[in-house]
A and B are shown apart, each in its own frame.
Chain A
Amino acid sequence: MKGALNKRGAILAGLLLALAAAAPFLVNEFYLTVLALIFLYALVGIAWNLMMGYAGQLSLGHALYFGLGAYIVAVLSEKFGISPWFGMIPAFFIAAICGAIIGALGFRFGVKGVYFALLTIAFAEFARILFEHWDYTGRTGGFFLTALNEKNRPLLSLRGGAMFFYYALLMTLAVTYFAVAWLVRGRLGYLWRAVREDEEAARALGVKAFEVKLIAVAISAGITGVAGGWFALMNGSLFPDSTFGMRLSIDLIIAPIIGGLGTLFGPVLGALIVVPLNEIAKDLGQALGVNGINLLIYGVLLLAVVLAAPSGVWPWIARKTGLDENSTRERDRT
Chain B
Amino acid sequence: MFELYVGVIANGLMIGAVYALIATGLNLIFGVMRIVNFAHGEIVVIGMYAGYSCWFWLGLPLAVSAPLAMLFMFAAGYGFQRALGNDFVDRPQHVQFVLYISLALIITGLHAIIFGPDPRGIQSAASFSVYRFAGLRFDAARLHAALAAVAILCALWLWLRYSLTGKSLKAAAQNLTGGQAIGININHVFALTMGIGAACAGAAGALIAPLFDTHPYLAGEFTLTAFIIVIVGGLASLPGALLGGLLIGVSEALAAVLITPSAKSLFSYGLLIAILLLRPGGLLGQKGAGN
Contacts and interface: CB of A to CB of B under 8 A. Distances in A.
A125 B98 contact: no
A300 B106 contact: yes
Interface in B215-233: 216, 220, 224, 227-228, 231
Given A115-B231, A299-B105, A110 B291 contact: yes
A246 B103 contact: no
Interface stretch (B13-21, B87-95, B136-144, B174-182): B87-95
A111 B97 contact: no
B95 A126 contact: no
B112 interface: yes
A274 B26 CA distance: 29
B266 A254 contact: no
B276 interface: yes
A10 to B, nearest CB: 29
B101 A126 contact: no
B262 A310 contact: no
Interface in A115-136: 115, 118-119, 121-123, 125-126, 129-130, 132-133
Given A52-B94, A306-B98, A311-B95, A105 B277 contact: yes
A303 B106 CA distance: 9
A290 interface: yes
Contact of A112 (B227, B260, B290): B290
Contacts, number: 131
Interface string B18-55: 00000000000010000010000000000000000000
Given A296-B106, A296-B109, A310 B224 contact: no
Contacts of B116: 291
A257 interface: yes
Interface residues of B, number: 46
B108 A295 contact: yes
Contacts of B280: 109-111, 115
A119 B30 CA distance: 17
Residue of B104, B112, B228, B270 most packed against chain A (CB within 10 A): B112
B224 A246 contact: yes
A252 to B, nearest CB: 12
A217 to B, nearest CB: 16
A292 B94 contact: no
B171 to A, nearest CB: 22
Nearest to B281: A115
Interface string A276-311: 000000000000001111111111101101100011
Given A258-B98, A292-B108, A299 B103 contact: yes
A52 B109 CA distance: 29
At the interface, is chain A mostly helix, strand, loop or mixed? Answer: helix
B93 A293 contact: no
B257 interface: no
A141 interface: no
B110 A296 contact: yes
A110 B273 CA distance: 13
Interface in B117-165: 117
A251 to B, nearest CB: 10
B102 A58 contact: no
Interface of A: 52, 58, 105-106, 109-115, 118-119, 121-123, 125-126, 129-130, 132-133, 140, 246-247, 250, 254, 257-258, 261, 290-300, 302-303, 305-306, 310-311, 331-332
Given A140-B262, A300-B102, A302-B101, 20 more contacts: A105-B277, A113-B93, A114-B30, A119-B272, A119-B273, A119-B276, A122-B269, A129-B263, A129-B269, A257-B97, A257-B98, A292-B108, A292-B112, A295-B106, A296-B109, A298-B105, A299-B104, A299-B108, A300-B106, A306-B102
26 contacts: A109-B276, A109-B280, A110-B280, A115-B231, A126-B269, A129-B265, A129-B266, A132-B263, A133-B260, A133-B262, A246-B220, A246-B224, A254-B101, A257-B98, A292-B112, A292-B113, A295-B105, A299-B104, A299-B109, A300-B102, A303-B103, A305-B98, A306-B98, A306-B102, A310-B95, A311-B95
9 nearest A-B pairs in the assembled complex, by CB-CB distance:
A292-B112, A296-B109, A299-B105, A295-B109, A299-B106, A302-B102, A303-B102, A306-B98, A292-B109
